A = this chain, B = another copy of it.
Amino acid sequence: MATSAGAGDPVRTLELLWEVRQHSGLGRKPELSLDQVVSAAIELADAEGLDSLSMRRVAERLGVSTMSLYRYVPGKTEMFDIMVDRVSAEVCYHHEDGDGGRDGWRSRLEQVVRANRALFERHPWLLTLFPRRPPLGPGVIAKYSAELHAIDGIGLTDVEMDSVLTLVLEYARGATANLIEWKKFSARAEQSDDQWWATLAPHLDRLLDQERYALAVRVGSAATTHYNGVHDAEHAFEFGLQRVIDGIESFVDDKCLPAEDDLLTDALPEGKRPSRR
């Protein structure tokens, strides 16, 4: 089971994300730190998935009682938020120091997708846990900032930059989810997952109208059969990635062509003006 995070007092969560609270010096010293708690939770989620992540399990892993955790974290959803922010801090891009120049945005966007894919592969639970609103901690903001810089100065308005980035990140999420699924499929070959299709196929053949759904059966089995090798799944990932970036490129190009429209720019409201370096 996986929830969207973001419940509870947002300001309290924000303070936790930025670690504003200091130990006052008075009173009993804490035996743990927020970082230890969150790290243990992340390790557990990495190893066994979000479903197996309970406060009890985290406490056991740390050798403390369940209720001790609530001294560090207001609740489970807030812990999720902090987990997301922490792992978001893992991604780092090297494209800020002007590699590629103004036309390098294609490869920079590719890097963004690949970095996100790697993040999802390291922490698959991120795929099932999507916060309604992103936790605005240092990790998330650094990531968002770096990713914006990948497409800054190519002639998009602020709102357009956000839309493009959202589109690209959404592709990274979806495509990685599929990739992981296919990898699981091919990994445990003699496991129950290989037999899944094998045992279901004959039943399906009996149940559904073969003529009516001829196309679906052909394409579906083609996708299932040919993706057994990881190579094809990789190919599908790259395929979609190029499609998405192509679509963005055609938009960027179309914007640059009618240059006489620049005169209209000053008539636009603040946030919609194109930002060029």
Nearest-neighbour CB distance to chain B for A255, whole angstroms, equals 12
User: Is A230 part of the binding interface, using a Cβ–Cβ cutoff of 8 Å?
Assistant: no
Report how many copies the assembly holds: 2
List CB contacts (< 8 Å) of A1-27 with chain B.
1-4, 10-11, 14-15, 18, 20
For A199-211 the 0/1 string (1 means CB < 8 A from B) is 1100110011000
Interface-facing stretch out of A97-105, A112-120, A164-172: A164-172
| Residue of A10, A15, A242 contacting most chain B CB atoms (<10 Å) | A10
B200→A166 contact, CB < 8 A: no
Question: How many angstroms between the C-alpha atoms of A24 and B150 in the bound complex?
Answer: 64
Known contacts A136-B200, A167-B243, A223-B159; decide if A3 and B3 are in contact (CB<8 Å). Answer: no
A→B interface (CB under 8 Å) = 1-4, 10-11, 14-15, 18, 20, 51, 128, 130, 132-133, 136, 138, 141-142, 144-145, 148-149, 152, 158-164, 166-167, 170-171, 173-175, 177-178, 181, 196, 199-200, 203-204, 207-208, 212-213, 215-216, 218-223, 225-227, 232, 236, 239-240, 242-248, 250-251, 269-272
CB-defined A-B contacts under 8 Å, sample of 26: A1-B2, A3-B51, A4-B128, A11-B200, A133-B181, A148-B216, A148-B219, A158-B219, A159-B222, A162-B220, A163-B236, A166-B174, A167-B174, A167-B175, A167-B240, A170-B171, A170-B173, A170-B175, A222-B272, A226-B269, A242-B247, A243-B248, A243-B250, A243-B251, A244-B244, A246-B250
